A and B are shown apart, each in its own frame.
Chain A
Amino acid sequence: MSDTLLGIFSWDFIGSVIRVTTPILLAAMGALVANLAGSPNIALEGTMLMSAFIGVIVSGFTQNLWLALFAGVLSGITMSLVLAFFALKMKTDIILAAIALNIFSTGGTIFFLSTLTGDKGSSASVNSLVFPNIDLPLIKDIPVLGEILSGHHIITYVAIVLIFVMQYVLYHTPLGLRIRAVGENPDAAESVGISVNKTRLIALIISGTLTSLGGLFLSMGYVSWFARDMTAGRGFIALAAQALGGVSAFGVALGALLFGFAEALSYSLQFLKVPYEFTQSLPFIITIAVLAFYAYIRLPQNVKRRGAQSGETRNGRLFQRVWEYFSRRAGIRKGVDS
């Protein structure tokens, strides 16, 4: 028993949390940018899958990491451009276009994989490369801190830096202001000369870039090959992490971290004498609990304000408020409103 607890709360466990969090974090930041611009990107899953695939294939055939990085990111941007073309230019529903892209990625990656390697399951036979883990000089020699901070995957460090970059870009630059303005009220933004489509296009491209890094991490770091459907729902979990984290990059990072922590905890808890069904559902239980708690804290002002406006009693509308709160967070109502 003590061995098990030791296993859960060891430095390795923190490493595990960080590995699980990285792809979710990158995709969640991708979701954030797109959501703020009012063009929710639920093609994250497909984008990650495509980049994971392209990265492995390009590195396998060229044996060049930089080319693989370039191609992987480019494939993520391409996915976003296709989404933008259909949603912004051709005015299709952005959710439907994204679903189509996700399906395309699932089938497309398998098709190209079998065309190129003759294998429909995984790229295990392709001699592809991986991005390295990085030992931070100086820091790695500090006893405890070094073990926690050093030796992670390079994309993990990039992701951490990107949290701050994204927060800065979104809240301290003209571009960020435009993105938020376009998302908040497109008509008002248009009236002061901001091109809504152009801004949303930029937001989607940023979203695709961030997400593609998450995909590259999966196939060129976490494991060293591409397997069909290997994203396994991480793109959708990222959407939830973004919904949880709200509108700031820091919040989103915390949301992703919560998912990562809950997931990693469920791996380790398997060894205690608890039923497997429970440990497997633990990440989702924790998420729902935190969401509910978070919503509860925020609720009073919300209910008061809205209640006063509509003149309804507080308790009678409580559930509707909660529902509206969640759906607004999840961006579900965005489509209905606009």
Chain B
Amino acid sequence: MKKVLLISLLLVVAVVGLAQFKVAILINGTLGDKSFFDSAARGAQMINKELGISVRLIEMGYNPVEWEPTLEDISDSGDYELVIVGTWQMVDVLARVAPMYPDVKYIIFDTDMDYSTGKLGNVNSITYKQNEGSFLAGALAALVSKSTILDNNLPDKKVIGLLGGMDIPVINDFLIGYIEGALYIDKDMKVALSYVGSWNDPAKGKEFTLSMYRQSADVVFAVAGETGNGVLEAAKEAKRWGIGVDSDMQLIYEAKDMDIVNHTLTSMLKNVDFSLLRAVKLYKEGKLTFGKNDELGLKEDAVGLAKNPYYEALLALDPTMKAKLEQIEKDIIDGKIIVGTAIGMNNADLDKIRNAVKP
């Protein structure tokens, strides 16, 4: 009896061991960024919990010199069938390493790859339509700016703002969506814009935002990493509104400072976690296609506004606003609204759009 048990146990272990492939997620930074690295870590937990696949998460740190050897070591070890990396900073590294290990499959998130070389047949890249989520944020900001029901705004001024980390395509993609969303609500909306030029200076972010509030912006959308947290602090101080990005800022601040939570409308999320879960699930089912980029948007739940209780409570104050936003979301998903993108846009066109909405 004991022998039978032991053998069957061994069999089960062997079957599970053979059937289950292992996934490694390499982060080219450290956790705690409240942004896509943390989101990727949540994705790792989801993959583990929902698919029962063991995931190893490795923090490679911020030193670029260490990324390539780490990726090579992991690929070379043969332990991992699927290796996940992220951000545009890993593009060159992956382009060098992936062709060397054709048996390993790679997923890279938040960036496209150059597949025209024909060497990246084992890579799948995921980009996010931040412009779609930002369209919703822009529409929300415009509605709040014009609202006569909500407080903390200047309804007659029709100015909203965006604080960008740097003048780069990804940030401008947020901007284009945001501007289009605002103009969709009201053709006369003006969008004040600031680039801080830094991702880790919340004090400077606060100062820039206060300066936008002085230009009578009611709502400022923070798209600047850690710097963007300064927006929320400024909103609290100036008694206006802020919109967070990447993580649900209200849930982060609720234990600390309700004043900040109450001056934040919501956060525009890039759901790296869902997108990784989706990709690994597809891979498990053999449906993930390699050698191509997947562009995920509102439809795939890869971007969107954080629908936390504070946001729901805010919308409950103004049912027409709620209905409008739900309609827009539906229209984007159904393809009735096509949101423009800054990716691949030349500077002259971008300037034209930016200058047209300057207050």
Contact of A122 with B203 in the complex, beta carbons under 8 Å = no
Contact of B33 with A121 in the complex, beta carbons under 8 Å = yes
State which of B38, B198, B214 has its C-beta within 8 Å of the C-beta of A232. B198
Q: How far is the CB of B162 from chain A (nearest CB, A)?
A: 12
* Contact bitstring B256-295, A, C-beta under 8 A = 1, else 0: 1100000000000000000000000000000000000000
Q: How far is the CB of B148 from chain A (nearest CB, A)?
A: 22
Asked if B119 is an interface residue, CB under 8 A from chain A, the answer is no
Contact of A122 with B229 in the complex, beta carbons under 8 Å = yes
State which of B32, B211, B216 has its C-beta within 8 Å of the C-beta of A121. B32
* Contact bitstring A103-128, B, C-beta under 8 A = 1, else 0: 00000001001100001111011111
Interface centre among B38, B194, B202 (most CB of A within 10 A): B202
State which of B207, B255, B256 has its C-beta within 8 Å of the C-beta of A267. B207
- How many angstroms from the CA of A124 to the CA of B206 in the assembled complex? 15
Query: A120 and B202 in contact (CB under 8 A), knowing A12-B214, A16-B210, A16-B211?
Result: no
State which of A114, A121, A227, A270 has its C-beta within 8 Å of the C-beta of B208. A270
Query: A4 and B256 in contact (CB under 8 A), knowing A223-B203, A276-B195?
Result: no
Q: How far is the CB of B9 from chain A (nearest CB, A)?
A: 37
Interface size class of B (residues with CB under 8 A): 35 or more
Query: A122 and B210 in contact (CB under 8 A), knowing A218-B203, A223-B230?
Result: no
Contact of B201 with A124 in the complex, beta carbons under 8 Å = no
* Contact bitstring A303-327, B, C-beta under 8 A = 1, else 0: 0000000000000000000000000
Contact of B215 with A4 in the complex, beta carbons under 8 Å = yes
Chain B minimum-CB-distance residue to A229: B200
* Contact bitstring A259-303, B, C-beta under 8 A = 1, else 0: 000001001101101001000100000000000000000000000
Query: A10 and B195 in contact (CB under 8 A), knowing A224-B257, A227-B200, A230-B203?
Result: no
Chain B minimum-CB-distance residue to A280: B197
Chain A minimum-CB-distance residue to B259: A224
State which of B204, B229, B359 has its C-beta within 8 Å of the C-beta of A3. B359
Contact of A124 with B253 in the complex, beta carbons under 8 Å = yes
* Contact bitstring A225-257, B, C-beta under 8 A = 1, else 0: 101111010000000000000000000000000
Asked if A171 is an interface residue, CB under 8 A from chain B, the answer is no
Query: A225 and B229 in contact (CB under 8 A), knowing A7-B215, A280-B195?
Result: yes
Asked if B192 is an interface residue, CB under 8 A from chain A, the answer is yes
Contact of A232 with B201 in the complex, beta carbons under 8 Å = yes
- How many angstroms from the CA of A225 to the CA of B197 in the assembled complex? 21
Interface centre among A110, A126, A229 (most CB of B within 10 A): A229
Asked if B34 is an interface residue, CB under 8 A from chain A, the answer is yes
Contact of B358 with A271 in the complex, beta carbons under 8 Å = yes
- How many angstroms from the CA of A68 to the CA of B31 in the assembled complex? 27
Chain B minimum-CB-distance residue to A124: B252
Asked if B30 is an interface residue, CB under 8 A from chain A, the answer is yes
CB-CB under 8 A from B198, the residues of chain A are: 232
Chain A minimum-CB-distance residue to B257: A224
Q: How far is the CB of B211 from chain A (nearest CB, A)?
A: 5
Contact of B201 with A230 in the complex, beta carbons under 8 Å = yes
Q: How far is the CB of A127 from chain B (nearest CB, A)?
A: 5
- How many angstroms from the CA of A96 to the CA of B192 in the assembled complex? 44
Asked if A20 is an interface residue, CB under 8 A from chain B, the answer is yes
Contact of B257 with A271 in the complex, beta carbons under 8 Å = no
- How many angstroms from the CA of A124 to the CA of B203 in the assembled complex? 14
Query: A264 and B202 in contact (CB under 8 A), knowing A120-B30, A223-B230?
Result: no
Chain A minimum-CB-distance residue to B192: A271
CB-CB under 8 A from A225, the residues of chain B are: 202, 229, 256
- How many angstroms from the CA of A244 to the CA of B80 in the assembled complex? 57
Q: How far is the CB of B234 from chain A (nearest CB, A)?
A: 9
Q: How far is the CB of A3 from chain B (nearest CB, A)?
A: 7
Q: How far is the CB of A156 from chain B (nearest CB, A)?
A: 14
Contact of B214 with A7 in the complex, beta carbons under 8 Å = yes
Interface centre among B194, B204, B358 (most CB of A within 10 A): B204
Q: How far is the CB of B351 from chain A (nearest CB, A)?
A: 9
Contact of B253 with A268 in the complex, beta carbons under 8 Å = no
Contact of A120 with B194 in the complex, beta carbons under 8 Å = no
Contact of B206 with A223 in the complex, beta carbons under 8 Å = yes
Q: How far is the CB of B174 from chain A (nearest CB, A)?
A: 16
Contact of A124 with B195 in the complex, beta carbons under 8 Å = no
Asked if A19 is an interface residue, CB under 8 A from chain B, the answer is yes
Asked if B186 is an interface residue, CB under 8 A from chain A, the answer is no
State which of A110, A125, A227 has its C-beta within 8 Å of the C-beta of B256. A125
- How many angstroms from the CA of A19 to the CA of B202 in the assembled complex? 13
CB-CB under 8 A from B202, the residues of chain A are: 122, 223, 225, 227, 230
Interface centre among A10, A128, A224 (most CB of B within 10 A): A224
Contact of B211 with A270 in the complex, beta carbons under 8 Å = yes
Asked if B233 is an interface residue, CB under 8 A from chain A, the answer is yes
Q: How far is the CB of A121 from chain B (nearest CB, A)?
A: 4
Contact of A12 with B200 in the complex, beta carbons under 8 Å = no
CB-CB under 8 A from A131, the residues of chain B are: none
Chain B minimum-CB-distance residue to A121: B32
Asked if B167 is an interface residue, CB under 8 A from chain A, the answer is yes
State which of B192, B197, B210 has its C-beta within 8 Å of the C-beta of A12. B210
Report B197-247 residues with CB < 8 Å from chain A CB: 197-198, 200-204, 206-208, 210-212, 214-216, 226, 229-230, 233
State which of A3, A128, A224, A232 has its C-beta within 8 Å of the C-beta of B216. A3
Report A63-115 residues with CB < 8 Å from chain B CB: 110, 113-114
Asked if A222 is an interface residue, CB under 8 A from chain B, the answer is yes
Interface centre among B198, B216, B229 (most CB of A within 10 A): B229
CB-CB under 8 A from B201, the residues of chain A are: 230, 232
Contacts A/B (CB < 8 Å), 18 sampled = A3-B359, A4-B215, A4-B359, A7-B215, A10-B214, A110-B30, A120-B31, A120-B33, A121-B34, A122-B226, A124-B252, A128-B256, A225-B229, A227-B229, A228-B200, A267-B207, A270-B193, A273-B358
Given contacts A16-B210, A20-B207, 5 further A-B contacts (CB under 8 A): A113-B32, A121-B226, A127-B257, A224-B257, A270-B211
The chain A residues found within 8 Å of chain B, CB to CB, are 3-4, 7, 10, 12-13, 16, 19-20, 23, 110, 113-114, 119-122, 124-128, 218, 222-225, 227-230, 232, 264, 267-268, 270-271, 273, 276, 280
Top 10 A-B pairs, shortest CB-CB distance = A120-B32, A121-B32, A232-B201, A7-B214, A222-B203, A267-B211, A229-B200, A223-B202, A119-B32, A227-B226
